[in-house]
Amino acid sequence: MPPIPYRPPAGGERITRREGTLIVPDHPIIPFIEGDGTGPDIWRASVRVLDAAVAQAYGGRRRIAWMEVLAGEKAFREMGTWLPDETVEAFRSYLVGIKGPLTTPVGEGFRSLNVELRKVLDLYVCLRPVRYFRGVPSPVREPYKIDVVIFRENTEDIYAGIEFEEGTPEMERFRNLLRENFPADYAKIRFPASAGMGLKPISREGSERLIRAAIVYALGHKRRSITLVHKGNIMKFTEGAFRNWGYALAEREFRERTYTWAEWNRTKESRGEAVANAEQAAALAQGRLLIKDAIADVTFQQLLTRPDEFDVIAAANLNGDYLSDAVAAQVGGIGIAPGGNINYETGHAVFEATHGTAPKYANLDQVNPGSLILSGQMMLRYLGWDEAADLVIAGMERAIAARTVTYDFARLMRGAHEVKCSQFGDEIIRHMTGAKKAAAPPRAPARRAARAATPKTTRSKSVRPKKRTRR
Ligand code: NAP
């Protein structure tokens, strides 16, 4: 089947990058993949919301020149391949794009189209902001306290995909390699003959660039702290190293603007806990960013019991994956959880709905388009179009507060008026109108509410390292 060349839309211009800054024209060409299953439904609703926000914010001066590119089932039907080179090339060449969910093809050379795209474009940050929208059904008592931004490493860890299947010749060779070269480690394997095995590479470069991006973000957005989440009590040279490299990086590259728990520990060892506490309090009073760490399992617990102690989180791939969905579940679940995959060095970014294709709802115009709409909102902010992004947030806040919601929220809300996927988009646009002045920065209400509801003692206690037990 001959490849279909993508034709750039008339009047659109390419986003470029100069000296580390994105140069965004008024009519940027943005490639999009509508996605499989429910993808077309949520894309249709989302694109109308994003266009309406841009039109209202800039009075027609700015407009996105959308360019459809194919992946997934549509690409397979029309071009004979699940992820055409032309699609990857479009994302590479136009820098910023957006996508709906894609079916994972069974039996192809790659595990998932999403993972493949992240890999070829080296999109090393998976950015997942999680906040509460008033009125969203939640399984926790104080969901308004949740306002965290998760930086999940996107290219390493078990997602490197190095695994050997039990009973295969590859596994046999790997087992022999271990037995011959690392006999002491081989001896630790409980059932070596029937084990499958995987590798978990976590590098200094990979960890540092992720943590650096999180620190730059936190400083730029005036966040209070970064928590490095890890399982270093068990995996010292991968997870533990992630934490150590993070502390070292903060002290080396951001010495004047951060204070780390590693510093706190050193001062405590040399001059006692009271001096360490005073040093930390003074640093935070100067507006420095606190860099702390937490063991992954404790983090899951505390995100439920004390969510306002978490602000920005930096985590390796698997921990970040689990954490993102677990926190999102507290504030509405995957129907409204947005995400972006970004390489801050090259500027490449692909924003995406974080849920799957939900095939049983395909073409029913029923599912929640919120995840893709909010991902589009993140994209607008990445372009520097904050006014349009604020309008999307304002429209969504008001639509949910008015209880006009899709089935997933309606089944959990009292007095809700259930609307279709497309109608939810209409509601957001309707509530956007006239909201320009009212469009507040998205995290302010949740943050204010959280502060008001947090006793001072809990807040100050939260900045001290806790005793850790090995588990
Ligand atoms: P899924 O598509 O995420 O759907 C699981 C359930 O989540 C749905 O049945 C639905 O729950 C709920 N849900 C999903 N999207 C929703 C939305 N927009 N609004 C409201 N509820 C929503 O997961 P899956 O069924 O395991 O995966 C299906 C396919 O998607 C697979 O091929 C998988 O590989 C792929 N996938 C793609 C991505 C991606 O492209 N980023 C991510 C994950 C999975 P209820 O039935 O309770 O209403």
For the chain, list the domains and their CATH numbers.
1-131+333-438 (3.40.718.10), 139-161+201-330+441-471 (3.40.718.10), 162-199 (no CATH)
Find the mean pLDDT for residues 361-387. 97
pTM over 0.85: yes
102 C-alpha vs ligand 1 centroid, how far in Å?
10
Is the model's pLDDT at 423 over the cut of 50? Answer: yes
Task: Please compute, for residue 347, the number of CA atoms within 13 A of its CA located in the half-sphere on the CB side.
Answer: 18
Q: CB under 6 Å to ligand 1: residues? A: 38, 42, 101-104, 114, 334-335, 352, 355-359, 367-368, 371, 408
Q: Specify the pLDDT at position 110.
A: 59
Is the model's pLDDT at 223 over the cut of 90? Answer: yes
Q: Specify the pLDDT at position 6.
A: 87
CA neighbor of 158 nearest in space, from 200, 197, 207: 200
CA gap 296, 468 in Å, rounded: 12
Q: Specify the pLDDT at position 334.
A: 84
Is the model's pLDDT at 1 over the cut of 60? Answer: no
CA gap 151, 342 in Å, rounded: 10
Q: Specify the pLDDT at position 440.
A: 42
Q: Specify the pLDDT at position 377.
A: 98
Is the model's pLDDT at 412 over the cut of 70? Answer: yes
Percent of the chain whose predicted confidence (pLDDT) is above 90: 81
Q: Measuring from atom 1 of ligand 1, which residue has the nearest CA?
A: 356
Q: Specify the pLDDT at position 437.
A: 47
CA gap 256, 13 in Å, rounded: 40
Percent of the chain whose predicted confidence (pLDDT) is above 70: 90
Is the model's pLDDT at 397 over the cut of 80? Answer: yes
Query: Which residues are registered as beta bridge partners of 127?
Result: 151, 340
Q: Specify the pLDDT at position 452.
A: 31
Q: Specify the pLDDT at position 436.
A: 54
Which residues are known to be catalytic?
159, 231, 297, 321
41 C-alpha vs ligand 1 centroid, how far in Å?
13
Q: Specify the pLDDT at position 5.
A: 73
Q: Which pLDDT tens digit goes with each residue over 16-44?
A: 999 889 999 999 999 999 999 999 999 99
Q: How are strands ordered across the β-sheet holding 258-260?
A: 65-68, 29-33, 96-99, 349-353, 338-342, 125-131, 147-153, 312-315, 225-230, 289-295, 258-260
Q: Specify the pLDDT at position 458.
A: 31
Closest approach atom of ligand 1 to CA 371: 18
DSSP state of 28: B
Is the model's pLDDT at 457 over the cut of 50? Answer: no
Kindly report the average pLDDT of the chain as a whole number.
Answer: 89
Q: Specify the pLDDT at position 109.
A: 59
**Cβ(261)–Cβ(292) below 8 Å:** yes
Q: Specify the pLDDT at position 366.
A: 97
Backbone angles phi, psi at 79, to 5 degrees: -125, 0
CA gap 328, 270 in Å, rounded: 41
Q: Specify the pLDDT at position 424.
A: 97
Q: Specify the pLDDT at position 333.
A: 80
Q: Specify the pLDDT at position 160.
A: 86
Q: Measuring from atom 32 of ligand 1, which residue has the nearest CA?
A: 103
Is the model's pLDDT at 446 over the cut of 60? Answer: no
330 or 4, greater pLDDT: 330
Q: Which pLDDT tens digit goes with each residue over 283-332?
A: 999 999 999 999 999 999 999 999 999 999 999 999 999 999 999 999 98
466 C-alpha vs ligand 1 centroid, how far in Å?
38
Find the mean pLDDT for residues 437-445. 42
CA gap 96, 349 in Å, rounded: 5
Is the model's pLDDT at 276 over the cut of 70? Answer: yes
| All residues at 6 or more sequence positions from 286 whose CB lies less than 8 Å from its CB, including other chains | none
| SS3 call for 49 | helix
Closest approach atom of ligand 1 to CA 42: 18
**Cβ(220)–Cβ(381) below 8 Å:** no
Closest approach atom of ligand 1 to CA 367: 19
254 or 117, greater pLDDT: 254
Kindly state the tokens that stand for 226. Answer: 């970064």
Report residue 178's pLDDT band, with 50, 70 and 90 as the boundaries: very high
Is the model's pLDDT at 460 over the cut of 90? Answer: no
| SS3 call for 287 | coil
Find the mean pLDDT for residues 170-177. 96
Q: Which pLDDT tens digit goes with each residue over 100-147?
A: 999 887 655 556 788 888 888 999 999 999 999 988 888 999 999 999
Find the mean pLDDT for residues 193-210. 97
211 C-alpha vs ligand 1 centroid, how far in Å?
29
Closest approach atom of ligand 1 to CA 358: 2
Strands 65-68 and 21-23, by their bridges, are unpaired
| SS3 call for 313 | strand
